[in-house]
Copies of this chain bind each other. A is one copy, B any other.
Amino acid sequence: MATISDVARAAGVSASTVSYVLSGRRPISAETRARVQAAIAELRYHPHAGARALASSRTSVLALVVPLRADVNVPVIMQFVTAVVTAARTHNHDVLLLTMDEGTAGLERVAGSTMVDALILMDVERQDVRLPALRRLKQPSVLIGVPDDPDGIACIDLDFAATARECLRHLAGHGHRRVALVGPTPAVYQRGTSYADRFLGGFIEAAAEFGVRAVARSCEPGGDGVRACLAGIDAELPDVTALVVHNEEALLPLLDELRIRGRRVPTDVSVVAVCPRDVAVAQPVRLTSADIPAHEVGTLAVEMAMGLLAGRAAPTTRLLAPTLVERDSCAAPR
């Protein structure tokens, strides 16, 4: 493999000049730059990442910690991952993929050994045990999600409380007065997942605000889970006229179950989903939905990491305003 000295020799300049051509950190005459670039191309030169990291304390790598538990929605996770990798590349960074299996130790390992410049973490819990470790690292981190105490750490997410409010506002506007929330699987609540709690909190509050009677239930996956959830709702608040579904896995079985029971959407029951756009339109009925902007969130997470690295930004929390798109699943109650 060619080294920087090989390039320097071929171009008739010094190694430092080659380095500066590459980094753009000091002015280089057009002529010199051209000669150097020709040599680089000629020799198919690629700077050695390790040497660069050693000399500059910069790796051009971001760590991305993804949840790989059974109860997460894989396609949505992948949307985040894709967005992060793509955005990272536009900033000339690569992505090191960590699963949460290793927990805090994994973070300390990659950060301690200077493998990455910054960390991005998904699936944040309200009292996330990783937070103290993150605060100790010399690298900045960005959370996708918002813990109870985000102090000193950057956070980005959809404003789930506002999203819940938006769903209820929409339904209340149609005249609904009895609404149920079909929430994520119980495990998601049990471990205090940030977004689930924030959505639930916003839902309860907005119900009071709009004068809507509301129930909320978690929902296990599959047809059985959906039936149990509906039964629970019915026991607590009979004759709901609308459902807010914050559970992608439940969507299809739920619509199925409603059809089997002869309850038509939106004639007999209105449905608002909280999910990525593409899953909302892929359902048997095109669902009115509040978008989960995975791509935007992933991109912004990378942008925030870059801001922190450049010293341009402080670690703050950023919540994206909800977008509710009307489709074919909401109508006035009969």
Q: Is the CB of A46 within 8 A of B113?
A: yes
| Residues in A73-87 with C-beta less than 8 Å from chain B | 74-75, 77-78, 81-82, 85-86
Q: Select A50's contact among B53, B96, B101, beta carbons within 8 Å.
A: B53
Q: Select A97's contact among B47, B50, B95, beta carbons within 8 Å.
A: B95
Q: Is the CB of B50 within 8 A of A59?
A: yes
| Contact A112 B46, CB 8 Å, known A74-B78, A81-B97 | yes
Q: Is the CB of B85 within 8 A of A99?
A: yes
Interface string of A76-118 (1 = CB under 8 A from B): 0110011001100100001111110110000011101111000
Top 6 closest A-B pairs, CB basis? A50-B53, A46-B112, A50-B50, A50-B54, A46-B113, A97-B97
Residue A174 at the chain B interface, CB threshold 8 Å: no
Q: Is the CB of B61 within 8 A of A82?
A: no
Which residues of A are interface residues toward B (Cβ below 8 A)? 1, 44, 46-54, 59, 61, 64, 68, 74-75, 77-78, 81-82, 85-86, 89, 94-99, 101-102, 108-110, 112-115, 138, 222, 252, 282
**Docked complex Cα distance between A68 and B78 (Å):** 9
Q: Is the CB of B81 within 8 A of A1?
A: no
Question: Which chain B residue has the least Cβ–Cβ distance from A223?
Answer: B284
| Contact A114 B49, CB 8 Å, known A64-B97, A95-B97 | yes
Q: Is the CB of B82 within 8 A of A99?
A: yes
Q: Is the CB of A49 within 8 A of B115?
A: yes
Question: Which chain B residue has the least Cβ–Cβ distance from A68?
Answer: B82
Q: Is the CB of A48 within 8 A of B97?
A: no
**Docked complex Cα distance between A51 and B98 (Å):** 22
Within the complex, what minimum Cβ distance (angstroms) separates A230 from chain B? Answer: 18
**Docked complex Cα distance between A148 and B195 (Å):** 47
